[in-house]
Structure 1
């Protein structure tokens, strides 16, 4: 190769490099000018025209009362070919590192757009092969004026494709997603907050570690910080596992789950009923609440293991709270499905527990979510209930003490949203009722009258009774309705 030819080649290479640098500088300047028209600021921008990469450092964006900052934002492998040919934006990788969201969420009224405006709305054709957000911290005030904090969120999504042309609930498609959240905490009322230590979502499976609902006020104070009578909750679950989650959008959003596990749950409900009146607000049965969800749900199986529920009512001032304890609780629930075309109609819950720590309790409860009368059936058995177990709730809440022993109790109740009928079979021994004065001394006259009306057959032996047209108090829960049925059966068996 002669010197002249070598010089020409070198000249061409230098010319290409010069042109490239000029174009690269020009494109960088244009990108910088465009970004400055957007609601964000940054310390530096760099563009690699050859590779299609854009990098921003120390980015800040403010919208309304929220501020977003990130140490580095990288956009890699932008396809010029797709943009020139199809006017679509195709990106290889989008990365963000060490980001933080602070400020306050402000709720805004959403205005419905008519079909004409929807058709005129331009749709952005955007595809991103891989999205990675590492180390996102959140410290905001929600639109209910309560705080929400997250120590760390890491997020990765593959095969992202924007799909906003049909105004869907989820306006994008994806192939795979992974999320990790550490130390989430938010307040949801003046008296309660919820937190968890770790959330992992990977391969359509979600795991929650150390889920907690905690009181922010004491039992003595909380009732003065709520607008209506309600329970104070304390919950701790060692682990929650949700398997095989599928989210689809057909006519409306459809959420399908193969299995849910709650392991080692402690749930305490405390009600102070001495200050506020019971609210005259309707409480729907579970079937109606599930039927009226704004999306379709299909949960095939739920397991609750190694758990404990404690319910306490403070009804009479200066008395101790009445208490009901269900420990060693295991439950299996199947077919939580509100689709009208489901193959299996009935939702079934089977529950095993020790009532008051010593009395074996078994329950089978079935209902059809799509039955608009909210028909249900609940059957079961309870064994070995002594006077201490019976009086632990009745004595503090009604000043009534029961002596005796329930060897066996079998129940079978059928009902709907309005009323119920059922059967109760009991085996009593040495049954006696004591009605106490406010100072806890025995009211001999009322106790004598109460025992006078107790059937002789109920003091010892087996009693079989039926309950008819037990009316439901629609301001109270399903479990209150169940208890009213048991209570009615006891009254019919005793008096």
Structure 2
């Protein structure tokens, strides 16, 4: 027998069940008969349906033949619905929350054949707008749907047909939650046709078809198309920097996961994409809120893409065909976006053909293959275009550029790079240096220094570097550089280079300047040796052209040397540059130096050699510099000279010890120069010359001896300048001078034999006989056993003249005092005095003649006419006077 409470419980449950059945039956009757009217009276919509079943116990709702419309289609303040749904199935609908909490909750909602036009309400002021009723659906299913969504302006926003959609575990984020995706879900399936989406007034997005199979989504004929042409875009949106146009034949991806702020998917493939980007000169507004979502692509592929980027003027900036890109484990997030390369990846492969870039020069790449470890670029050409204005340009073709990378990674948000090898093969063309200088400081904040490049090889190349129309030409150029380290300069920015080893060889090297063409048959250079064969420096203009082209006087050089070599060590790349050569040798040089005094004097101060060496900014030291078996010619003309004067030094041998810039610690600064040569092809000359580069007063000493000089050997130089020729022999000439930037002085002596001079007319260069005869009266033809020695003092330097001008002044002063200059001056003065004396004598003779005539008249008067017996005596007297006068008037007395 049952207990009373059990009976009561069963009765209670039965009553409750009955009430529920009755309530469920009553609600269904009410929903079928009264719900449409209720909705019509209390909402903005009219809804009808063929059938409707509601299970209050489970919350399941099933309806068929649903039709929905707005009561007032013109009301833009509410969402507009118009269309039909074959059936609606809602599982576990939260009736209590819908009635009391105004929340729509359901585990599942299914729509069969929905054909809906949805018109979005006019956007309301967020401050005044009421919070909309939230909709929460765990799972959504739509089958064979056709949906169109319009803005309140009746402009189409979204549409799709034949839509089959399954979304499981759908979750929507509240508006107040920041940095989260608005929608997330676990599993999805979507199929449909004719997708249309217009997110704004700039673009429309169209998709021909979307299918899903086992999580793999395929999108056919993806199109992103601008609604405006480019001119309209620039006018209406002046702050937007780009306008895009995109067509993709097919997009495939799978395993899409949306969680919190992370989007991840795998096997994303874009087949035959065509991308067109229009760029403007606009400066976009700064983004106030940074992008804070994460993107994780397990495998990303671009297959056979064509990319074109246009400049603001409509011309091409970039064009590339047959682009293939595969990236493994691509990552992007807020932290990565702040790095120099705003993407991370495990691996990538990139390839393309016919890549063209058009800036101030046009770049064309035949093919390119890149990966994190290596790259290979073929058939590269770089050509300047018409937009060049003061920028550096290249007109080059390269057969291959290849590299291999040891390490390429991000360390503390900075790029760390270690390159193993770089190969540049068969480069031909010209690099032209620009004139414009950029004031913008380089920003290397995203680079982890040092950058290391272990090997660089340049092979079989012909390159011309042209700066200020002065081309530097390398033929058959081969170079290798080892262990390059790039670091940032701490003070003024830029990059500093440090190189461990290098080697360069080139044939038929040439460098052309305004006046010269410098060539060499072979140039070899490394960190310990330099070798130059068949060096030549030839003028490009004649002497007369050179004189007309220069504003002030300058030297014109004609140089050549069989070989120039240097051994030692030097660093020309790092911050701590230096040159230390143990030996520099120049073999068989031939140098002709021409200077004309016709152009105006150069008013600039000419520094002495100690100061010039001291002005070299880097430590420089040459233990031994040797010039061997060479020829030196110096020619100089003046407006009054008849052709250039010429000094010739043959068999020229020079040794320079300790050539330095006074900046190498521990090294001596005294420079000693010894010269042995043959002067004017006849006479041995030896010179010892010295100075100290550390001596700020720039003192120097120079001493030498010249022997057995035929005086005629000097004629080539003294005739144009002093209008003098000489014969005889200068047996010995010695000088021992000391000087500084103010002047020169010291001892000068000369020993000569049979010395005679001829004074020439300065215009006709004909010998002046009388003047030459008088000059030789004052010249001592033989100096005797001992040379004539004089002290040279008070020879001042013209600071606008060179060291050799000062040295010649000392020699000239010695010659004047001992031999030529002062005696010629005396001779000219003596001849002038003689002329005056002859003139006085002639005047005296005239006076005597007049006196004699007067005397003869007086004598005639005093002799009586009767004295006819004395005619013979008178005749004798007259004859005597006549003889006297004839002697006085004889021209030989002149």
Same fold at TM > 0.5 = yes
After superposition, what is the alpha-carbon deviation per residue over 1:412-435, rounded to whole angstroms, capped at 9, x for unaligned?
000101111110122111223321
> 1:148, 1:213 → 2: CA distance?
13
Q: 1:81 to 1:252 in 2, by over 3 A?
A: closer
Residue of structure 2 in register with 1:218 after alignment: 542
Q: Whole-Å Cα distance in 2 between the matches of residues 269 and 237 of structure 1?
A: 15
Preserved contact between residue 420 and residue 468 of structure 1 (Cα < 8 Å) = yes
What is the SS of the residue equivalent to 2:617? coil
**Cα offsets for 1:129-177 (capped at 9, x unmatched):** 211111222235422x233332232110111221234369981222211
How far has the Cα of 1:483 moved from its partner? 1.4
TM-superposed CA distance for 1:382, in Å, is: 0.6
1:291 — aligned with what? Answer: 614
Structure 2 match to 1:66: 394
The alignment partner of 2:787 has SS state of strand
User: CA contact under 8 A between 1:123 and 1:164: conserved in structure 2?
Assistant: no
- Aligned pairs for 1:63-462 (under 5 A) are 64-80=392-408, 87-102=415-430, 104-109=432-437, 111=439, 122=447, 124-143=449-468, 145-166=469-490, 171-189=496-514, 191-247=515-571, 253-273=577-597, 275-315=598-638, 319-339=642-662, 341-437=665-761, 438-448=763-773, 450-454=775-779, 458=783, 461-462=786-787
* 1:83–1:89 CA contact under 8 A, matched in 2: no
User: For the Cα contact (< 8 Å) 2:489–2:495, is it kept in 1?
Assistant: no
Structure 1 residue 102 displacement after superposition? 1.9
Question: In structure 2, what is the equivalent of residue 56 of structure 1?
Answer: 377
Change (3 A) 1:254 1:149: closer
The residue aligned with 1:9 is: none
CA distance in 2, matches of 1:464, 1:112: 67
CA contact (8 A) 2:402 2:423 kept: yes
Cα distance in structure 1, aligned partners of 2:519 and 2:429 = 18
User: Within 1, Cα distance between the matches of 2:475 and 2:420?
Assistant: 28
What is the Cα deviation at residue 298 of structure 1?
Answer: 1.2
* 2: CA distance, partners of 1:260 / 1:248: 17
- 5+ residue gaps, structure 1, are 1-18
Q: Residue 418 of structure 2 aligns to a residue in which SS?
A: strand
Distance in 2 (CA, whole Å) between partners of 1:120 and 1:446 is 84
CA distance in 2 between counterparts of 1:413 and 1:111 reads 51
* In structure 1, C-alpha distance between the alignment counterparts of 2:755 and 2:495, rounded to whole Å: 61
For the residues of structure 2 that align with 1:32 and 1:130, how far apart are their CA atoms?
A: 26
Q: 1:122 to 1:414 in 2, by over 3 A?
A: same
**CA distance in structure 2 between the aligned counterparts of 1:387 and 1:36, rounded to whole angstroms:** 74
Deviation at 1:342, TM superposition (A): 4.5
Q: TM-score, length-normalised on structure 2?
A: 0.49
Assess if the C-alpha contact under 8 Å between 1:316 and 1:396 holds in 2: no
CA distance in 2, matches of 1:204, 1:168: 30
Cα distance in 2 for residues equivalent to 1:112 and 1:253: 26
CA contact (8 A) 1:430 1:459 kept: no
Shift of 1:79: 2.6
Distance 1:454 1:299 in 2: 47
Cα 1:103–1:175 change in 2 (3 A) is closer
RMSD of aligned alpha carbons: 3.3
CA contact (8 A) 2:475 2:507 kept: yes
Measure the CA separation in 1 of the matches of 2:485 and 2:668: 36
Aligned-partner SS, 2:712: helix
Asked if structure 2 preserves the Cα contact closer than 8 Å seen for 1:408 and 1:427, the reply is yes
Distance 1:164 1:198, change over 3 A: farther
**C-alpha separation in 2, matches of 1:46 and 1:482:** 67
Say whether 1:26 aligns with 2:326. yes
CA distance in 1, matches of 2:504, 2:352: 32
Shift of 1:447: 3.1
1:221-276 deviations in Å (ceiling 9; x for gaps):
33122222223211001101011122278985322221111011000112333x32
**What's the CA shift string for 1:316-343, capped at 9, x where partnerless?**
5682422111000111101112225544
> Is contact 2:425-2:459 (8 Å) kept?
yes
Secondary structure of 1:227 counterpart: coil
Offset of 1:32 from its aligned partner?
A: 6.2
Question: Could you tell me which of 458, 465, 469 is aligned with 2:794?
Answer: 469
Decide whether aligned partners of structure 1 residues 133 and 315 sit closer, same or farther in structure 2, where only a CA change above 3 A counts. Answer: same
Q: Which has the larger radius of gyration?
A: 2
Counterpart-to-counterpart distance in 2, 1:239 and 1:435: 45
Provide the C-alpha distance between the structure 2 equivalents of 1:374 and 1:282, rounded to a whole number of angstroms. 14
- Give CA-to-partner distance per residue, 1:12-47, whole Å, 9 cap, x none: xxxxxxx999799414566769x9889744111123
CA offset at residue 58 of structure 1? 1.3
Task: Give 1:485 deviation, angstroms.
Answer: 0.7
Q: CA deviation at 1:466?
A: 0.8
For the residues of structure 2 that align with 1:390 and 1:461, how far apart are their CA atoms?
22
Given that residues 82 and 90 in structure 1 are in contact (C-alpha distance below 8 angstroms), is that contact kept between their aligned partners in structure 2?
no
Query: Residues 450 and 168 of structure 1: is their aligned pair in 2 closer, same or farther, counting only changes over 3 Å?
Result: farther
Distance 1:475 1:133 in 2: 46
Size of the alignment, in residue pairs? 471
> Relative to 1, partners in 2 of residues 1:252 and 1:21: Cα closer, same or farther, differing over 3 Å?
closer
What secondary structure, in the 3-state scheme, does the structure 2 residue paired with 1:349 have? Answer: strand
Deviates more, 1:412-421 or 1:218-227: 218-227
Where relative contact order (Cα < 8 A, 6+ residues apart) is larger, the structure is 1
Do the aligned residues in 2 keep the contact of 1:316 with 1:397 (CA within 8 Å)?
no
- Tell me the equivalent position of 2:138: none
In structure 2, how many angstroms separate the alpha carbons of the residues matched to 1:436 and 1:462? 27
